[in-house]
Structure 1
Amino acid sequence: MNEIPGETTQEQTFYEQVGGEETFRRLVHRFYEGVAADPLLRPMYPEEDLGPAEERLALFLMQYWGGPRTYSDHRGHPRLRMRHAPFTVDQEAHDAWLRHMRAALDDLALAPEHEAELWRYLTYAAASMVNTAG
């Protein structure tokens, strides 16, 4: 008979590895500081206060990377392309979005392997939101 050890190690999620909620909130807050001053991106956020958009993105990223399911509990399936469909997302918007996200990610000073993995996802996500040629 094989015994199961009393203590088994469970692998940490990416969310846990990078510092959890605090890390994702810092990333998203820094990103929206850039968006707030960007004449191309700011009009894509119709709320006067960017706080609700900041909260939605933070919750989405936390859930995506293995954190709490709060985003889905409150908003259902992410349906990212559908939610962005009302806005013109062209190459210029894509580049601006990534520029602000790059600055935010750099500020986190994550371990190189975590930074690379998160950046791969962010560049993929940005590309998948493009809905207009140009």
Structure 2
Amino acid sequence: MSDDYEPKDTPFERLGGEAAVRALVDRFYDLMDLDSDYRSLRALHPSHLEGSRDKLFWFLCGWLGGPPHYVDRFGHPMLRARHMPFAIGIAERDQWMACMKEAMAELQIDTTLADRLAAAFFNTADWMRNRGV
């Protein structure tokens, strides 16, 4: 963990720290893996999701204002560049968002926080699109 991380009033802390972020990531990937509504999204991922789970967990910890686990391991996230090999359109963006919103609802994340996170997630997910449809 980076020496410069100090807990403060961040979405990371409001969610409940690493345990809560891990629970959110795990529920997100469980839903994606099991629900046919997320079929196109699931197809973009490897057959085993352990690596994807860890990377999203590490990324979200830092993105939410917690420890920068992803940056410590891999450097700058360069999200768009790292996702460029995958065809991400409106359907994939919308499936990602629906899956994340469902995971947040199932984990009973405070609705005000969940709404703010959903808006921020949407901006990032929309920016990741590399095809029009």
Shorter-chain TM-score tier:
0.7 to 0.9
Cα drift, residue 11 of structure 1: 4.6
Quick check: 1:43 aligned with 2:43?
Answer: yes
Aligned positions, number:
124
Deviating above 3 A after TM superposition, structure 1's stretches of 4 or more consecutive aligned residues are none
Q: Which runs of 5+ in 1 are unaligned?
A: 1-9
Aligned residue type for 1:132: R
Quick check: 1:122 aligned with 2:121?
Answer: yes
Q: Report the aligned-residue RMSD.
A: 1.5
The 5 Å alignment of 1:59-78 reads 59-78=58-77
Identity %: 33
Report the TM-score, using the length of structure 2 for normalisation.
0.86
Aligned residue in 1 for 2:94: 95
Cα drift, residue 125 of structure 1: 1.2
Q: Tell me, yes or no, if the aligned pair for 2:21 and 2:61 is still in contact at 8 Å.
A: yes
Cα drift, residue 36 of structure 1: 1.6
Aligned residue in 2 for 1:3: none
Cα drift, residue 61 of structure 1: 0.6
Aligned residue in 1 for 2:17: 20
Q: Which structure's residues are more often helix, by fraction?
A: 2
Q: Which runs of 5+ in 2 are unaligned?
A: 1-6
Report the TM-score, using the length of structure 1 for normalisation.
0.85
Q: Distance in 2 between matches of 1:116 and 1:41?
A: 22
Cα drift, residue 121 of structure 1: 1.0
More displaced stretch, 109-118 vs 69-78: 109-118
Greater C-alpha radius of gyration? 1
Cα drift, residue 43 of structure 1: 2.2
Indicate how the Cα distance of structure 1 residues 44 and 113 shifts in structure 2: closer, same or farther if over 3 A, else same.
same
1:60-118: CA deviation from partner (whole Å, max 9, x where unpaired) = 01111111111101011000000110010011111111111111011121223211221
Q: Tell me, yes or no, if the aligned pair for 2:83 and 2:128 is still in contact at 8 Å.
A: yes
